[in-house]
């Protein structure tokens, strides 16, 4: 299949592209910089130069493909409305380009905010609707295109899609621990995060592209829920720092934007996904990755 991938140079995208190439697919990736274009070209990936705001370019990339993976995101956590607007516009543009074709459109989503007090399942609807909602209401907007004969599939990633080289949430929490000289968790630290190794997530995205029927919500979840206290303890152990609880009221000052995520229960299961796609995660768990040092060479731009 000729697959157009936005975010092909990103954390999940680069692993997914590797998986697609190994499986024999032909890939064209959106690249916004010379560095990203060069990284894609070096893998034998076709390059379409453009930014997420270049909707005509994104439309062309989707229209010329046999399927689309949308994994790019501006991730402007200081100004989420910017990321959310771009996310919604990208999904609308790709959906329109694929309308009437029955071609697959797999887009990134998350398990955050899906359920309260229990692990989220694939049957839980996404509560975020409309342009002002988190992620621009992108998951529900993507599924609008099912009735226009687009094989829309959401890849709901665990809040930590982890592995060596990850610069996401766990890397940020590690940076915060370094900065403050203490590895903190919020309150009792009993809220839990689902987790998946990035190579397992990449394989799932590829399986979804190849096989998932329209209207599928895939859960990229290998571990249902790791208490945030256990994450903080593993980071403290790895950095040789004390571990401490901080009061929820003090969490935003300590953690910055990540406080709301680190204080949230984001546990989720993946039974339906495993059954549907015969997906069996095999990678190491999150605490294993932290203990093996996967996060201690990574620097993120700023923390706290
Ligand atoms: N990682 C996780 O644990 C996780 C969890 C839940 C959901 N998700 C979602 O999964 C998706 C992939 O996440 P990720 O961790 O792989 O993200 P990432 O590593 O930050 O990669 C983002 C990708 O988007 C591209 N990009 C950013 N701004 C762009 C712009 N203005 N124009 C064009 N391309 C742009 C980046 O290009 P450059 O390479 O050139 O910078 C990169 O390829 C995102 O939607 C994310 O929100 C991820």
Average pLDDT over residues 73-77: 95
**pLDDT 10s digits, 182-236:** 999 999 999 999 999 999 999 999 999 999 999 999 999 999 999 999 999 999 9
* Residue 175 CA from chain centroid, whole number: 20
| 39 CA: nearest ligand 1 atom | 39
Backbone CA torsion sign across 173, 176, 181, 182: negative
Which of the listed residues 42, 51, 71, 208 should we mutate to test ligand 1's pocket, taking the one with most ligand atoms within 8 A of CB?
71
- Strand 151-157 and strand 183-186: pairing? unpaired
From the CB of 172, is ligand 1 less than 6 Å away?
A: no
- Of the pLDDT bands very low, low, confident and very high (cuts 50, 70, 90), residue 299 is low
Among the four given CATH numbers 3.40.50.150, 3.40.30.10, 3.40.50.720, 3.20.20.220, the one describing domain 2-160+196-223? 3.40.50.720
Average pLDDT over residues 61-67: 98
pLDDT of residue 151 exceeding 70? yes
From the CB of 160, is ligand 1 less than 6 Å away?
A: yes
Average pLDDT over residues 237-266: 96
pLDDT of residue 116 exceeding 80? no
From the CB of 33, is ligand 1 less than 6 Å away?
A: yes
Distance 96 CA to ligand 1 centre (A): 22
- Of the pLDDT bands very low, low, confident and very high (cuts 50, 70, 90), residue 303 is very low
| Separation between Cα atoms, residue 205 and residue 156, nearest integer Å | 10
Average pLDDT over residues 283-303: 83
pLDDT of residue 50 exceeding 50? yes
Average pLDDT, the chain: 96
| Separation between Cα atoms, residue 4 and residue 65, nearest integer Å | 6
Q: What is the pLDDT of residue 81?
A: 96
Q: How many CB atoms lie within 10 A of CB 297?
A: 9
Residues composing the chain: 304
pLDDT of residue 92 exceeding 80? yes
Q: What is the pLDDT of residue 112?
A: 81
Distance 274 CA to ligand 1 centre (A): 24
Q: What is the pLDDT of residue 304?
A: 41
pLDDT of residue 18 exceeding 80? yes
- Strand 192-197 and strand 223-227: pairing? antiparallel
Distance 13 CA to ligand 1 centre (A): 7
CA distances in angstroms from 98 to 40, 47, 244, listed in the order given: 24, 20, 50
Return the domain boundaries, the chain: 2-160+196-223
Average pLDDT over residues 280-292: 97
Contacts of 263 (CB under 8 A, 6+ apart): 186, 187, 191, 228, 248, 251
From the CB of 142, is ligand 1 less than 6 Å away?
A: no
Average pLDDT over residues 251-271: 96
Average pLDDT over residues 55-73: 98
Q: How many CB atoms lie within 10 A of CB 276?
A: 17
pLDDT of residue 105 exceeding 50? yes
Question: Which protein residue has the closest C-alpha to ligand 1 atom 40?
Answer: 36
* Residue 280 CA from chain centroid, whole number: 19
Q: What is the DSSP letter of 77?
A: T
- Of the pLDDT bands very low, low, confident and very high (cuts 50, 70, 90), residue 113 is confident
* Residue 233 CA from chain centroid, whole number: 24
CA dihedral 215, 221, 227, 232 (to 10 degrees): -120
| 74 CA: nearest ligand 1 atom | 28
Average pLDDT over residues 14-24: 98
Q: How many CB atoms lie within 10 A of CB 39?
A: 18
Closest listed residue to residue 45, CA positions, set 16, 75, 87, 66: 16
Contacts of 1 (CB under 8 A, 6+ apart): 25, 26, 66, 67, 209, 210
């Amino acid at each position: 299949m000729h697959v157009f991938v936005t975010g092909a140079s990103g954390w999940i995208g680069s692993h997914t592209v590797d998986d697609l190439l190994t499986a024999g697919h032909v890939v064209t990736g959106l690249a916004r910089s010379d560095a990203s274009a060069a990284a894609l070209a070096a893998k034998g990936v076709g390059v379409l130069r453009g930014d997420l705001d270049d909707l005509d370019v994104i439309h062309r990339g989707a229209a010329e493909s046999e399927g689309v993976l949308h994994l790019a995101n501006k991730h402007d956590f200081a100004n989420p409305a910017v990321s959310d607007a771009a996310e919604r516009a990208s999904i609308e543009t790709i959906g329109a380009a694929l309308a009437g074709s029955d071609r697959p459109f797999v887009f990134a989503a998350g398990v955050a905010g899906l359920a309260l007090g229990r692990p989220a399942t694939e049957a839980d609807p996404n509560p975020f609707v409309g342009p002002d909602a988190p992620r621009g209401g992108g998951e529900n907007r993507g599924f609008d295109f099912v009735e226009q004969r687009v094989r829309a599939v959401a890849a709901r990633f665990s809040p930590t899609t982890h592995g060596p080289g990850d610069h996401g949430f766990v890397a940020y929490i590690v940076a915060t621990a370094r900065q403050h000289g203490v590895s903190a968790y919020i309150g009792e630290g009993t809220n839990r995060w689902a987790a998946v190794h990035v190579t397992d997530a990449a394989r799932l995205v590829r399986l979804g592209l190849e096989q998932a029927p329209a209207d599928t919500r895939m859960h990229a979840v290998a571990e249902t829920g790791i208490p945030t206290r256990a994450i903080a303890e593993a980071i403290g152990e790895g950095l040789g720092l004390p571990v401490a609880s901080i009061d929820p009221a003090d969490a935003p000052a300590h953690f910055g934007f990540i406080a709301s995520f680190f204080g949230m229960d984001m546990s989720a299961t993946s039974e339906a996904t495993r059954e549907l796609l015969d997906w069996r995660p095999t990678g190491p768990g999150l605490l294993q990755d932290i203990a093996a040092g996967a996060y201690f060479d990574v620097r993120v731009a700023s923390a706290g």
